[in-house]
């Protein structure tokens, strides 16, 4: 296996990379474009939904009402996705830039913006990892493998307009923006795309602390500038939501009848483990170097991080869109990718990056809502339509 991987490395690492020449912005943009083409190839959007079957369903209607300022959650069944959009206002505000009252035009505009966000998500991740590792090969490979997961399909396959690409883009900015204030402003805006951003925000705090603090002291982590800014941003978000609820009776349905609660866990208990596994596929393995690193450095901090991930994974089960929820934990996966690079030899991390990305490439991409739906790559999709 090592010989095979070394042969692959020798073919993919150019002479310029061996000489460690600096990577330009043009190279970063071009490579990001190639990676987004790969994502489209593996997780192409269901074109049929954007053509013959592109009908005005409740999801389109609710988002259009948000854009037009006429949305009311009580117009939709409590168990539906549409009834839970009351505080997810940022996509609606962005949708106003479409300057159209036609729901189909508005939806296509939101989808186009999400693709743009997907491109800049890739660019930010690629350039961020390269800046921290100075290893161009490793940066390209792990970014490609990462975008092959459910998270990547959220930018390109999603024509149901859950619009997770919006908070994901804001979260990746929050991870790599140097300014702490600007970072948590991005995160605060992300809360108004989807409240699950709070779950991933803790991972962003851990990521930024790891990169900015010289120690792994529990006290330093808990009382760092990043931790304080995060707590303040969450507190402000909760305060505004409570104020809006009290003064304007803006609510979202919760409980088993709304498919949000303990009942949802029992309803899908047989599928939870595999749904979580398919979220990041083989890239879950990068949690191991993260756990090992913090266990060696500070066992109390390791315990808190482990507890955070355990509780977060359990919480993702209280809704039926488990894979969507679990994708918000992506900051800790990226941190594991970075820790692994810094703790092992360059040859070893390059070899493993090729292997892990190859496994993600051959594992089919799935989405999950009660049942698993496989995403067909372009060749299989074309064959399916040809023989249909």
Q: Where are the domains of the chain?
A: 25-380
**pLDDT one-digit tens code per residue, 225-263:** 999 999 999 999 999 999 999 998 888 888 877 788 888
- Average pLDDT, stretch 287-298? 97
CA 281 to CA 287: how far, in whole Å?
Answer: 12
| Mean pLDDT of the chain, nearest integer | 90
Lowest-pLDDT choice from 39-53, 119-133, 328-342: 39-53
**pLDDT one-digit tens code per residue, 47-101:** 655 555 556 678 889 999 999 999 998 889 888 889 999 999 999 999 999 999 9
pLDDT of residue 186 exceeding 90 = yes
pLDDT of residue 357 exceeding 70 = yes
Lowest-pLDDT choice from 42-46, 121-125, 134-138: 42-46
pLDDT of residue 358 exceeding 70 = yes
pLDDT over 90, % of the chain: 70
pLDDT at 345: 93
Nearest to 130 by CA among 148, 143, 120: 143
pLDDT at 20: 58
For 338-343, which contacts have Cβ atoms below 8 Å and span 24 or more sequence positions? 338/129, 338/132, 338/133, 338/210, 338/211, 339/210, 339/289, 339/290, 339/293, 340/286, 340/289, 341/133, 341/135, 341/138, 342/133, 343/289, 343/292, 343/293
Q: How confident is the model at residue 371 (pLDDT cuts 50, 70, 90)?
A: confident
Helix axes 225-248, 180-191, angle to 10 degrees: 30
> β-pairing, 371-375 with 365-369?
antiparallel
Return left, alpha or beta for 72; rule: phi > 0 is left, psi -120 to 50 is alpha, else beta.
beta
- Average pLDDT, stretch 326-334? 97
pLDDT over 70, % of the chain: 90
Cβ partners under 8 Å of residue 23, min gap 6: 130, 136
CA 328 to CA 199: how far, in whole Å?
Answer: 7
Q: How confident is the model at residue 15 (pLDDT cuts 50, 70, 90)?
A: very low
Q: How confident is the model at residue 140 (pLDDT cuts 50, 70, 90)?
A: very high
327, two tokens: 């994708």
pLDDT at 54: 55
pLDDT of residue 349 exceeding 70 = yes
CA-based R_g, the chain, Å: 21
Nearest to 166 by CA among 131, 194, 126: 194
pLDDT at 139: 97
CA 140 to CA 125: how far, in whole Å?
Answer: 10
pLDDT at 339: 98
């Amino acid at each position: 296996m090592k010989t095979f991987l070394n042969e692959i490395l020798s073919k993919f690492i150019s002479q310029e990379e061996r000489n460690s020449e600096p990577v330009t912005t043009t190279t970063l943009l071009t490579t990001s474009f190639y990676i987004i083409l790969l994502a489209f190839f593996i997780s192409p959007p269901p074109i049929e939904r954007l053509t013959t079957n592109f009908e005005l369903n409740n999801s389109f209607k609710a988002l259009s009402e948000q854009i037009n300022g006429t949305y009311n959650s009580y117009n939709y069944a409590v168990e539906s996705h549409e009834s839970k959009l009351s505080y997810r206002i940022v996509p609606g505000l962005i949708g106003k830039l479409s300057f159209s009252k036609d729901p189909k035009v508005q939806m296509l505009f939101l989808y186009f913006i999400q693709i743009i966000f997907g491109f800049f998500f890739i660019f930010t991740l690629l350039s961020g990892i390269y800046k921290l590792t100075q290893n161009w090969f490793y940066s390209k490979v792990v970014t490609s493998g990462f975008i092959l997961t459910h998270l990547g399909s959220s930018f390109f396959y999603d024509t149901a307009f859950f619009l997770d690409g919006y908070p994901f883009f804001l979260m990746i900015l929050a991870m790599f923006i140097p300014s702490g204030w600007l970072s948590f402003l991005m995160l605060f805006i992300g809360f108004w795309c989807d409240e699950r951003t709070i779950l991933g925000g803790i991972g962003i705090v851990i990521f930024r602390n790891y990169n900015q603090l010289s120690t792994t002291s529990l006290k330093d982590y808990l009382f760092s500038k990043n931790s304080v800014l995060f707590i303040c941003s969450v507190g402000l978000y909760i305060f505004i939501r409570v104020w809006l609820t009290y003064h304007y009776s803006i609510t979202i349905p919760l409980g088993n009848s709304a498919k949000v609660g303990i009942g949802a866990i029992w309803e899908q208990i047989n599928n939870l483990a595999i749904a979580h596994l398919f979220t990041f596929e083989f890239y879950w393995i990068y949690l191991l170097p993260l756990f090992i690193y913090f266990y060696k450095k500070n066992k109390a901090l390791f315990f808190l991080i482990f507890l955070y991930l355990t509780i977060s994974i359990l919480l993702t089960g209280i809704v039926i869109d488990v894979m969507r929820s679990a994708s918000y934990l992506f900051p800790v996966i990226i941190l594991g990718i970075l820790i692994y690079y810094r703790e092992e030899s360059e040859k070893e991390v390059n070899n493993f990056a090729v292997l892990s990305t190859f496994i993600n490439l051959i594992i089919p991409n799935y989405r999950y809502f009660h049942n698993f739906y496989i995403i067909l790559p372009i060749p299989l999709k074309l064959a399916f339509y040809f023989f249909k």
